[in-house]
Amino acid sequence: MEVETKVHIYEIDGKDTVVGELKTLKVRNVWNKSRSVELQIGEGEKIAVHESDLIKAIANATGNEMH
């Protein structure tokens, strides 16, 4: 089974995207690696990363608010 989720991109190279921008971040399963995901921006290169590495990277990048 192929699973794909498209995530809206809010900013590219520091510039806000415009209404109607069609470029998305595609997140797909990797059929032969159960704990990996494939990432692709628009029609660019496809990369595969391990699920736990991506989760840790997101938590690290978003967990930096000042208290």
Number of domains in the chain: 1
In a domain, 67, yes or no: no
The confidence score (pLDDT) of residue 67 equals 54
The confidence score (pLDDT) of residue 23 equals 86
Residue 29's DSSP bridge partners are 37
The three-class DSSP label of residue 55 is helix
In angstroms and rounded to an integer, the radius of gyration of the C-alpha atoms of the chain is 14
The DSSP secondary structure of 3-33, one letter per residue, reads -EEEEE--EETTEEPPTT---EEEEEEETTE
Closest CA to 43 of 27, 29, 26: 26
In a domain, 48, yes or no: yes
The confidence score (pLDDT) of residue 65 equals 66
> pLDDT 10s per residue in the chain (67 long)?
899 999 999 998 999 988 877 889 999 999 999 899 999 999 999 999 999 999 999 999 997 765 5
